[in-house]
Structure 1
């Protein structure tokens, strides 16, 4: 009997291997047919230099191996690609700029089909109405330059040049001008979406309003956006750039600067014209950003008198919007390279501002604990203003009461160690006053730290509605990573 069981097992395994090989070959044939047999636009994990040329993970700690990366030219090709994925049991993930902190743009797990949107580069504008249409494969820098060159228009968006407009809209779209003019999603009027069943819809407030609601803040869970329609506005008339720099080997100096900043951002009368970011590292605290008004208006906030003595201060007034944007893009581009890193974040509103005791516990910890030689930083992005005018359920983006987001970041020369990960997690926990459940997180700064609670952290009280919409438009969870919205039935 043992002999026959062994023969049966060997035959079964051989049959299984053959079946898997056949499925792989059939998937290849299906995808090649979807792309008009243009084999240069579909690459598979078995192809030479696939990882280097086609995967390009942003976080080098997470080496997910997608089954294939495809480069469609049309919405119709995406429909066929999604059909292939469903037929052969694969998940699908669109990729724009590819700048995702946990590589969800590669599926967040092995064996996904990655749809690279690089060829979706449509850009047009009606100069009379200011309505603009952009393909979801464009980068933020492409959008900013096109709008400037075609009527001096703009809409609020982020400052990282290599971020794709597609992914930016999916998560909300915050930027320096958001306090003045809102989020990117607040300027969106229509989204063309390919759904799991092959339907192509033009989602808006009047057509498929539930889908339109979900796409603005949680979009990657529901379909592939191929293009966006925006209502643009005139560029800011003038921009003032400011930099307050504190450099010291004495933690006490940096702690004092952090606490002063923390008081400033809680000021309910802080001008909406002000947008900014701060970065705390081991030897420096940098507070910089943009003010969308005159130098006199900026000076009226008396920021310098509310901060400790700086190492250096640079104020540059009367900049054009495009000159300021290009300067920001040039500096941000230097930090957008793939690396081994780990992140965590938290959104802070007026009802859960860290106490002085929490600030002290956090600051004391980061300047004394062992980060295992990692380079660390804590970034605070100022929000509020115009973004707070809408209710938390106006779109899928739930953070309408936030005043800032904090991102903790640690990078290492090789794979990020458990000690470094613990350092970041413990630091954030101290800033939260050991009450992590009181804080939401921004889906645009994804972290593996959230585990099974990721969806609740990202979408809060909007999650039940998102799960119901997911069950309607993608019940089989085709557009999926471990941290995306799941259908209500699952």
Structure 2
């Protein structure tokens, strides 16, 4: 088939798909509509994709009809909840998919007796946090960015600064209304469709489109204490690597044995600024904080030069805004934040060796300035003996990386302050970030590292993505994909079953 013939066939197929959606009364945006261009702007501007059409359902029946039309005309389907995918998988991850935009599913209630929240799949984390607090003084474990959509976040993990206390967002899921690839609408829970319940919680985008969640909530803390120690270190000084290694080891040892469940802890580094921070949140009183943090501070190297920490107490919702760098919690229906970036993740299940940390921080110093890239590393504490994340039964869901000690996010974006401004991510940036990742993992080959699916890396082959994200759960997931979506309708370049 010639390229021209293929193009004509694709246009005809898209027209037939749109005709089917119209005949089924599914609200939609076609490529010729004025709303199409703004609707397909990805969060990550590095990865633009162009769906054949965008369904904008308001009911589960609309979702069902859209899936049936896609099946009839052999069009792959991707659902978008918030549009925050690092790989733009909500747009399909390739051109020509049917995107199902769930933004109209914004219902939010809290049962006054059970405090179970019923949450529409189009809501964002900030909407839910402010909403359930206003309704019932409740809270959920969830991420820090208020514009992230609930569906992708919850179905693939969902970590935040209450997670060591309450677990992941995924762990709060009690029940879901789900539309299967066949168009069938089902309720899914531990008791009803248990295999699907297992698969959705960890690999949800491959198994169905959730329209509504029922989530366990918790009494919101009255306040929390946000703390930060900041070192500014000379990347050219020979002692800097040793200082960083010892600081990280202090955090690591404290985390494994001592850090209470009501403490969130992270290490944040911006090499080009020489910035090294130990920061987090304690959900308790200042008196208790001073007591529980003392062993960590006592283990910092160079005790005579420990920086004065910033320690501030905030009311619960105010602290969520602080952690979101000032972003408001209630979010607009259409997401308007964008960046041009590439990110990777490392899930470290156990203690990092001196050799691995030395290699990692040596790479930091040697590559601190990489214009036009700005890059940073966040190491979030997931584990430790008191963590609620690792305490959850690993067989309960397909989410594989709950045994993480630390999860690292390696993030690089463009310096937009240059003159003239740079708008294109450099191709060598991918190789550079791979090198950053390998500076740790290749120096500790005795450890089986994994990756976090919510920091999705589109450069991974499907096989490597499946290994890093799902580990030993993948064979069961692949088998269930054949049961619930044998035609691979629900698809992205790293979907379960893709080879």
TM-score where L is the length of structure 1: 0.90
Stretch of structure 1 that moved more, 94-103 or 234-243:
234-243
Q: Quote the Cα distance in structure 1 between the aligned partners of 2:213 and 2:376.
A: 34
Out of 46, 49, 53, which is 1:61 matched to? 46
* 1:298 equivalenced with 2:281 (yes/no): no
Q: Residue 439 of structure 1 corresponds to which residue in structure 2?
A: 449
- Specify which of 163, 188, 198 is matched with residue 148 of structure 2: 163
How far does residue 376 in structure 1 lie from its aligned partner after superposition?
A: 0.7
Coordinate RMSD, CA, aligned: 2.4
Q: Does 1:262 align with 2:260?
A: no
Distance 1:411 1:15, change over 3 A: closer
Q: Would you say the 8 A contact 1:93–1:113 is kept in 2?
A: yes
Which deviates the most, 274-283 or 435-444?
Answer: 435-444
Q: Using a 3 Å threshold, how does the CA distance of structure 1 residues 255 and 393 change in structure 2: closer, same or farther?
A: farther
Distance 1:321 1:392 in 2: 30
Counterpart check, 1:359 vs 2:333: no
- CA shift, 1:156, in A, is 1.2
Identify the range of structure 1 (459-468 vs 281-290) with the bigger mean alpha-carbon deviation. Answer: 281-290
1:6 — aligned with what? none
1:266-285 mapped onto 2 (5 Å cutoff): 266=253, 267-282=256-271, 283=273, 284-285=275-276
Paired residues of 1:425 and 1:449 also in contact (CA < 8 A):
no
- Describe the SS at the equivalent of 1:99: coil
Partner of 1:33 in structure 2?
Answer: 23
Structure 1 position 438, deviation (Å)? 1.7
Show structure 1 runs of 5+ residues with no match. Answer: 1-8
Tell me what 2:92 maps to: 107
- Describe the SS at the equivalent of 1:285: strand
SS of corresponding position for 1:119: coil
Distance 1:346 1:329 in 2: 23
What is the match of residue 417 of structure 2? none
Deviation, 1:312, is 4.5
- How many angstroms apart in 2 are the aligned matches of 1:436 and 1:421? 25
Give yes or no for the alignment of 1:288 onto 2:288: no
- Name the structure 1 match of 2:310: 314
Give the secondary structure class of the aligned counterpart of 1:97: coil
Q: Cα 1:475–1:357, aligned 2, differ >3 Å: closer, same or farther? A: same
1:461 paired with 2:472, answer yes
Which residue is equivalent to 1:50? 36
User: Shift of residue 88 of structure 1?
Assistant: 1.0
Q: Distance in 2 between matches of 1:13 and 1:362?
A: 47
CA distance in 2, matches of 1:442, 1:15: 41
Count of residues in Structure 1 that have an aligned counterpart in Structure 2 = 470
Checking the alignment, whether the CA contact within 8 Å between 2:250 and 2:300 is kept in structure 1 is: no
What is the CA deviation profile of residues 342-372 of structure 1, one whole-angstrom value per residue up to 9, with x for unaligned ones?
111110112xx33211211121122213634
- State the secondary structure of the residue aligned to 1:393: helix
Q: 2:321 aligns with which of 321, 326, 343?
A: 326
TM-score (norm. length: structure 2):
0.88
- Residue-by-residue CA offset, 1:177-197 (whole Å, 9 max, x unaligned): 111111112111101100011
Asked if the contact 1:137–1:164 (Cα under 8 Å) also holds between the matched residues in 2, the reply is yes
Seen in structure 2, the aligned counterparts of structure 1 residues 27 and 322 have a Cα distance that, compared at 3 Å, is same
Instruction: Report how far residue 473 of structure 1 moved.
Output: 0.4
Q: 1:450 is paired with a residue of what secondary structure?
A: coil
Indicate if the aligned counterparts of 1:106 and 1:114 stay in contact, CA closer than 8 A: yes
Q: Taking structure 1 as reference, are residues 409 and 368 closer, same or farther at Cα in structure 2, changes over 3 Å only?
A: same
Show the counterpart of 1:199: 184
Deviations 1:73-115, CA, capped at 9 Å, x for gaps: 1110000011111111111111111111111111111111111
Pick closer, same or farther for the CA change 1:25–1:430 going to 2, 3 Å.
Answer: same
Contact 2:206–2:481 (Cα < 8 Å) also in 1: yes
CA positional deviation for 1:15: 6.8
CA contact (8 A) 1:123 1:134 kept: yes
Which residues of structure 2 form unaligned runs of 5+?
A: 330-334, 415-421
| Conserved 8 A contact 1:258-1:285 | no
| CA distance in 1 between partners of 2:78 and 2:311 (Å) | 43
User: What aligned pairs does 1:47-446 form with structure 2 within 5 A after superposition?
Assistant: 47-48=33-34, 50-51=36-37, 53-250=38-235, 252-253=239-240, 256-257=243-244, 259-266=246-253, 267-282=256-271, 283=273, 284-300=275-291, 301-302=293-294, 303-308=296-301, 309-317=305-313, 319-331=314-326, 337-350=337-350, 353-369=351-367, 371-384=370-383, 385-412=387-414, 413-434=422-443, 435=445, 438-446=448-456
Deviation per CA, 1:384-421: give whole Å up to 9, x if none: 20111123332111112211100111112332223222
Q: Which of 165-174 and 275-284 deviates more?
A: 275-284
Alpha-carbon distance between aligned partners in 2 of 1:14 and 1:275, rounded to the nearest angstrom: 56
Give the Cα–Cα distance (whole angstroms) in 2 for the partners of residues 361 and 333 of structure 1.
Answer: 39
Deviations 1:430-451 (A, max 9, x none): 1113549821100000013422
**1:262 Cα offset (Å):** 3.4
1:451 aligns with 2:446: no
Q: How far did 1:19 drift?
A: 4.5
Contact 1:35 1:72 in 2 (8 A): no
For the 8 Å contact 2:241–2:361, the answer to whether it is kept is no
Query: Shift in Å at residue 304 of structure 1?
Result: 2.9
